[in-house]
Structure 1
Amino acid sequence: MASAAPGPTTKESTMAFPGIQHVAVTVSDLERSTRWYAALFDAEPVLDEDEEGGRFHHTVFALDGGQLFGLHTHQGRESGDTFDEERTGLDHVGFAVGSVEELHDWVRRLDDLGVAHGEVKSAGYGTGVSFRDPDGIALELFVGAG
């Protein structure tokens, strides 16, 4: 049996852990994904450039609440693998919505955009709907339980 990696100690912390400022996903076709996310977010990217060291290109969208969502390509070094939430790494990205009514508005928007999605599902911790981007990356619109 493998031993677990050391975790944080239980000593009292004097500062709160920061919230998520940005998420970046690697895509196979930057142009296609930029169009898809621009339609989903109803916004144009705020940044579209090669990273200083030339290791990757990023296109970044600004979301409400100050978060950024980035699309990355790695100058042809992408693995070419399809997304699989069962592989170690990213499982999905969840976007917060304010109410169940707003969630249903988003479902209608996904329908208008022609984006396939699952059914709205509720659990004790909240309600959400899952869908995928052009690379199959799992996304979710979610409202937490009150």
Structure 2
Amino acid sequence: MPTFPGLTHVAVTISDPAVSVPWYTRLIGADPVLDEDTGPFRHIVFVIGEDNLLGLHVFPSGLRDDGDFHPYRRGLDHVAFGCSSRSELEKWQRRLDELGIAHGGIVEAPYGSGLSFRDPDGIALEFFAAVS
């Protein structure tokens, strides 16, 4: 059996690119590397870390916030960005404070520490440092 591959990208559906793109640009500290209209949706992509991508999708027909899961809905439980240590988490906590982004403070667990916050659409995000 082959080794299970790592993640290359995460894409989340947003409601308003005029709000979300500047918010993510400030958070990440870099502009998107791609902003294209694919026809069915607008695809805005940021490079995060060394080789991962974060995509923002906007559907021209609007969000579908009713019923069962649909890719046009805001979704998933949360996206966690890996930190190498608790001290790196503390740096991100200070950065979120500088940006005026509300967060839940660093929370300790037996398996690691996390710092949770939300994007403009309420999508749950986290900086996470696993116990080494």
In the superposition, the TM-score normalised over structure 2's length comes to 0.90
If you compute each CA radius of gyration, which structure gives the higher value, 1 or 2? Answer: 1
Deviation of 1:80 after TM superposition, in Å, equals: 4.8
The question of 1:63 aligning with 2:63 is answered no
- In the other structure, the counterpart of 2:94 is 108
Q: Structure 2: which 5+ residue stretches go unaligned?
A: 67-74
- In the other structure, the counterpart of 1:123 is 109
Q: Distance in 2 between matches of 1:76 and 1:135?
A: 17
The question of 1:48 aligning with 2:35 is answered yes
Tell me which of the two structures has the higher relative contact order, counting C-alpha pairs closer than 8 angstroms and 6 or more residues apart.
Answer: 2
**Aligned residue among 13, 16, 23 for 2:10:** 23
Q: Distance in 1 between matches of 2:96 and 2:105?
A: 12
SS of corresponding position for 2:122: coil
- In the other structure, the counterpart of 1:86 is none
Quote the RMSD (CA, aligned, Å).
1.1
Please tell me whether the aligned partners of residues 28 and 80 of structure 1 are also in contact (alpha carbons under 8 angstroms). Answer: no
- In the other structure, the counterpart of 1:5 is none
SS of corresponding position for 2:35: strand
In the superposition, the TM-score normalised over structure 1's length comes to 0.82
Aligned structure 1 segments of 4 or more residues deviating by more than 6 angstroms: none
Q: Structure 1: which 5+ residue stretches go unaligned?
A: 1-12, 82-88
The question of 1:74 aligning with 2:59 is answered yes
| Higher strand residue share | 2
Q: Distance in 1 between matches of 2:21 and 2:4?
A: 31
Please tell me whether the aligned partners of residues 15 and 62 of structure 2 are also in contact (alpha carbons under 8 angstroms). Answer: no
**Aligned residue among 24, 44, 50 for 1:37:** 24
Q: Distance in 2 between matches of 1:112 and 1:29?
A: 23
Please tell me whether the aligned partners of residues 93 and 105 of structure 2 are also in contact (alpha carbons under 8 angstroms). Answer: no
